[in-house]
Structure 1
Amino acid sequence: MKESILSVVMPCLNGMPHLPAAIESVKSVLSGDSHEIIVADGGSTDGTLDYLRNAGVTLIEKPDRSLYEGLNNAISLAHGQYIAWLNSDDLLLGGVADLWRKAREGQADIVTGEAEIASDGKVVWRSDHHVGPMSPASILFAVPTVNSRLMHTGLLQAAGPFPCDIGLGADRYMLLKLLRLAGRRTFQPSTAYRYNSHSGSKTMAATWKSYRDVHDANLRMTRALRDEASGQDERGLIDAFASLSGLAAARAAFFGGEPIKAMGDGLAAFRDNPSPANWYRGLSLYRHYRGHGSGW
């Protein structure tokens, strides 16, 4: 049986200068709780390794193909009953200790807290997961914030590793898989996680290139999901999300200075998703979930 400690896992590559604050946030908010920090470094060259070797963490020094392979490597060494995933440029907030207590009390598969996004230290968005439970639609069309959740280690083992071949769409892909497998989910009304938006972020850089990369990854995810869809309604939901992701990728390419790619992406979006019903459904769900958290 896994020990009653919280395992904080972190994939990392050239994490300086944000990394020290991320590590210290764990030690600060979990100072009174049993925990471990496992960092999988994929081959940093910016001083990250020098810092981590003296940071009191379990360090994996191993080249990897992506942050998700690093994440899988870190999870494989976890001793804790629950897993928290921290990006090397983000922060755990005080609410994670509340989530950890809630997890131990209820033995839930997933415990969800609230998250926030900050730019230059100023909070620009807060989640509203308390409004309602997760659903396939909310995971696809709302903000997934996978990091503001504690996952039971047994649940992650049942789900298998994060996929490494679909890029940043792996967050949503894994949440959908965990939703199917989770027997008990619960919510704790505490802010547990801060995403930091900055120019070097893979997901929060707020540039047209970063937007395009995210939408391209979502398209790769939908192709994987189509192969696994269990029914017509689920396939329709995936197609609705794919149609808008294709159009969003085209928009990002256009405003990012790639008009030819934008035209190709836009035409592909309509070619691959010709059904007007899918477009209508996608637009309706986008308007409903835009800017909201994906629930608990």
Structure 2
Amino acid sequence: MGKRAWFKYKLIGLEADKGLLFRVLMYLLLVDVAFIYLKPVIYMVTTMIKGAPDLLDPAVIWVPTRFYGGHLAEAVKMLDYVKSFGVSLTISTLSAVFQVLSCAIAGYAFARLDFPFKRLWFTALLFTFIMPAQVTILPSIVLFKELGWINTFWPMLVPALFGHGLKGALFVLIFRQFFSTLPKEMEEAARMDGAGVFRIFARVMLPISQSAIVVVFLFSFVWAWNDAYFPSMYMFGASDVPLSVGLSKLNAQLAVEAQEGGLRAFLEPIKMGASFLIILPLLVLYAFTQRWFVEGVERTGLVE
């Protein structure tokens, strides 16, 4: 093989996706996309650790001259972070667990069982998926007020227990898609052993749906953690609020201080610190579960 042919082989390869040129372009694209997503986080972190001299120096943009933790401490104090973290963790975890159980049952029923008006109920499910939450929020507030659930966790937890929590229709569709791909011989073998519908679901179908469970649990947890709309509607008078609502209150408080003459340069790092404290648990969660999450997305058919 001559030098020219060897150089062409190394540069392009026998196939287009095997050569050095393709790999360089691919890595450049991946680095560019990663930077687009990481830039806001990097800006958030570098801003919240800037001291007064760095904030007033226009030459300091990305790399502070020294680390300053005062803004982060102020954000912890204004958010009442420990208490709000416990509230967010409670609501998100219980909502995720309830949605996994209820949506798995509903998804199994739509995928494997025959019952009256099945198509009608499935159409109603799709309708709840596309209908904005703002359409039903007022009747929901009136209902929960009559039940005495306003300023409590129940308006977020009880709907999740019955598969109608945040994005519940999507989770039912995920389980339906997963259960539809399983072979019918598994159910037939269980029926020959005398198992009923509930036993087949609990002993056969649910244990092998770990990939779908991981996807639904993580999606439900993250969306419940980030949701500020429903908690602000149902818990507007509560003293213990989740971090998402605490961030909204913090922004409103800082906006008032800015109107009263506060320097915006010193208020922005507090916002950045509060935002970082809220997304930090999600970053840690994803760091430990990303492998199972990616596998779950592939197996449940979300990539199709």
TM over 0.5: no
Structure number with the higher helix fraction is 2
* Higher relative contact order, chain-length normalized (CA < 8 Å, sep 6+): 2
**For this structure pair, what is the TM-score category when the shorter chain's length is used for normalisation?**
under 0.3
